[in-house]
Amino acid sequence: MNTRVVADDGVSEEEYALYATAIQQYYLSPEARPTKFLMIEERTFKYDFTVGENDEPWKEKHKGLNIEESAVDDYETKNSQKWLLKKDDFKLPVKHSMITDLDLKAIFHGHWGELEWIQYYRRFPESTGFIMLSRVGFNTAHTQALLYIGSRCGPGCGEIHFLFLEKTNGAWVVKKELRKKSFG
């Protein structure tokens, strides 16, 4: 897989609108942990479904959803490399910031243990961890979308959501969580 990081000019306004929809539903809803500050990973993230589960969540179990192949192809193509996201393009109702690869490497050094998380929260005391986002894959008509959103918040703490969204009456709505997993 290509791990080259591409500048942010390829991420569309529509993708940022979907990010805002998903972030508000999963991290700012009344059921979510109360937060006044969000930390978002600066580069996009592609969850590797082949590790441990060896499947593709848009296939077989979810045949009844009629996910168009063009959405899957677009998701795979866009997520074959990492993209930089821009803080100012996120339209969120709470304060937010971006965490860089350099910040993550300086704090965690590839280890996600308790001491590293203590260091993280000393540096970002208002944060409740950080959110990871993939690029959004759209079908040709831009009426369906696939999106990974996940978080890390401590040793064994975090979650993954792989979402299938549809545009209904001009607004994006989560139609189905194709994959969900919580840690801790």
Q: What is the pLDDT of residues 49-71, one digit of tens each?
A: 665 555 666 665 556 788 999 99
pLDDT at 3 over 50: no
6, 83 contact by CB (below 8 A): yes
Across 65-86, average pLDDT: 93
Predicted confidence band of residue 2 (pLDDT cuts 50, 70, 90): very low
pLDDT at 87 over 90: yes
At 156, the amino acid letter reads G
Selection from 178, 171, 115 nearest residue 143 by Cα: 171
Q: What is the longest distance spanned by two Cα atoms in the chain? A: 47
Across 132-148, average pLDDT: 96
pTM of the model: 0.88
Across 77-105, average pLDDT: 95
- pLDDT the model gives residue 63: 62
> CA-CA-CA-CA torsion for 108, 54, 158, 174, nearest 10 degrees?
130
Element (H, E) at 15: helix 13-27
- pLDDT the model gives residue 59: 64
How is the chain split into domains, by residue range? 5-183
Calculate the alpha carbon distances from 77 to 1, 71, 157 in Å: 11, 10, 30
Three-state DSSP class for 36?
coil
Both tokens assigned to 63: 């045949």
